[in-house]
Amino acid sequence: SCPTGWVSFNDRCFQYISSKKSWADAEVQCLSLGGNLASVHSEDEFQFIRSLIRSKDPAENAAWIGLTDCQKKGTWLWSDGSKMSFTKWNTGEPNNVNGGENCVHTTQKGWNDISCKDIYAAVCALNSDL
């Protein structure tokens, strides 16, 4: 089961963070809650996260997920250490505009790489206690 304020899906717990902040600050907030920025491993999880965002923000503005290539350019890693087994890049992404897009937010259609310093809402995830 999930802690209060978290929503269960696929043996994990998810929480939408409405306060907008940088990718790193969003990850720190997720860590403080016991999780990480959300990793996404299937179309089902992508659609679940999309519906979670929509339930809190009907405009479905972009929100941070836990994908970054800040450690090594072009090598995308999930902040929770899980393997990248699924991708949902928007058409033409990742495009690393001006060489400065090293973090990923999720939009209505899929993922976009964007500057880690930009501020967005976020989705955190943690493993539920089985």
pTM for the model? 0.95
In a domain, 4, yes or no: no
- pLDDT digit string, tens, across residues 71-119: 888 899 999 999 999 999 999 999 999 899 999 999 999 999 999 999 9
pLDDT given for residue 73 in this prediction: 87
The parent domain of residue 33 ranges over 9-127
93: Cα within 13 Å, side-chain hemisphere: 19
Q: How many domains does one find in the chain?
A: 1
What is the reported pLDDT for 1? Answer: 87
User: What's CA 117's distance to the chain center, in Å?
Assistant: 15
- For residues 13-29, one letter each, b for 16 or more C-beta atoms within 10 angstroms of the residue's C-beta and e for the rest, the string is bbbbbeeebbbbbbbeb
Look at strands 63-68 and 120-127 and give their pairing.
parallel
**Do 18 and 62 contact (CB within 8 A), yes or no?**
no
Q: Which of 21-25, 101-105, 126-130 has the weakest average pLDDT?
A: 126-130
Confidence of residue 129 (pLDDT cuts 50, 70, 90): low
Specify the CATH number for the domain of residue 72.
Answer: 3.10.100.10
DSSP label at 35?
Answer: S
Residue 118 CB coordination number (10 Å): 16
Q: Is residue 3 part of a domain?
A: no
